[in-house]
Every structure is written in structure tokens, then in C-alpha cells.
Amino acid sequence: MPYCIGLTGGIGSGKSSAARLFQSLGAGVVDVDDISHGLTRSGGAGIPAIIQQFGPEYVSVDGSLDRARMRELVFKDTLAKGRLEAILHPLINQLARDQVAQSVTPYVLLVVPLLLERNGYGDRIQRILVVDCTEQTQIARTMRRSHLSEAAVRAIMAAQLSRAERLAKADDVLDNNGEESQLQCQVAALHTRYLALAADPGHPARGG
């Protein structure tokens, strides 16, 4: 099994940007959001169960999940959220584990937004890497990227661990408050360290 680092962070922290930088250096990347999108696109494995549970009105004309409509539903209905998660999470979990196991790169980043909230991959991950930035930066980035209101972004953040809680659980931290060039330098340093850890036959445990 390849050495596996769990990459996480709050909404708008820059997880995808960090993952792309690691990937450009030769690291493997398995992103559960990408897996989720694959399951809910036209012809995706999750679509039949979604139609059965929620009705065809939650599927767009192209056959993919109507994300805006589903987001509105699960935001106000926790039972609906649980039903959707019961469909998708087992599929995501298995596909993520399979992709990690099949990787031929020196090490793999498993990108999971709610990794620390759910701890669903604790048996697979050797280290936890948190991408960190201020809450103000999270809000500004998310509003700009997703066209959400500040209140909507804050509601999402309230459902996640606090910044302090994430940092307390991290083995490694990427400070993503500055320019991308600063992030690149930090990624390069961690990449060197992860290559060394992955080369150790004993695969040192977390905290090493």
C-alpha cells in the first residue's frame, strides 16, 4: 500500500490548489469531491438511487444531479441530507480506497474536506495535512468562487470544525494566506519530507 497523507481544510482554504501543486511534483492525488462528481454525473452510479429516493425532479435534463436543487433541500432538511449521504458515502469510500491502493506514485494525497469531522479514513492515513488560512480569507474566497452570500458561507463553516480544532489535529500545516509562490515553497518542502517518509519500509505512524 502506498504511503497516504490525508489533506483537508475548511471551505475556501485552498485544498485543490495545494493538491495540484503536489501533483505537479509527482504525488498521487485522490479527491473525494471528484469521485462524488463522477457518481452524480449523467450515467453515474449514484443517479438511479437518487432518483429512487428523491424523485426525477432532482436530476437535470442532462441526466446529472441537479446540485442547486439538492443543495437547497439538504441545507434545510437534515433527514434528506442523511438519505443522500447514505447513498453516496459508501460508494465514495470504496472508490477512494481502491484508487489509493492502486496508485503507483511514491505517496498519495487523499483529499477529504470533512476528513477530521468524520474520521472515515483513519485506518488508511499515515499523516494529516491541513491547508490553513484565516476565516476572513475563507469567506472572501468562497464568495468569489461559488457566488454565495456571506451568511451562506458562514453557515457552511459552522458545520465544519473550527480553525483551531483543525490545527490541533494536524501533523503538518500549509499556510495559504499569502501568494501562490509562498504556497509552492511550502509544498516543495513537504514533498521532500513525504518522499523520505514514504521510502521508509516501516511507514512511520502519525506524529513522526
Supply the mean pLDDT for the chain.
Answer: 92
CATH 3.40.50.300 occupies which residues in the chain?
A: 1-27+108-208
Looking at the chain, list the stretches that DSSP marks H as alpha helix, in order from N- to C-terminal side: 15-24, 32-39, 47-54, 67-76, 78-102, 115-118, 135-146, 150-158, 163-169, 180-199
How many CA atoms lie less than 13 Å away from 64 in the CB half-sphere?
A: 10
Cα–Cα distance, 5 to 154 (Å, whole number): 28
Pick 1 or 197 by higher pLDDT: 197
pTM of the model: 0.89
Pick 159 or 7 by higher pLDDT: 7
Between the alpha carbon of residue 38 and those of residues 82, 125, 190, the distances in Å are 20, 23, 29
Cβ count near 140 (within 10 Å): 15
The three cell numbers locating residue 17: 490548489
Q: Is pLDDT above 90 for 155?
A: no
pLDDT score recorded for residue 173: 98
Q: Residue type at 89? A: H
The three cell numbers locating residue 203: 511507514
- Among 11-20, 145-154, 175-184, which is the least confidently predicted range? 145-154
The matching CATH number, chosen from 1.10.3720.10, 3.20.20.120, 3.40.50.300, 3.40.50.720, for 1-27+108-208 is 3.40.50.300
* Phi, then psi, of 88 in degrees rounded to 5: -90, -40
Q: Is pLDDT above 60 for 57?
A: yes
How many residues does the structure list for the chain? 208
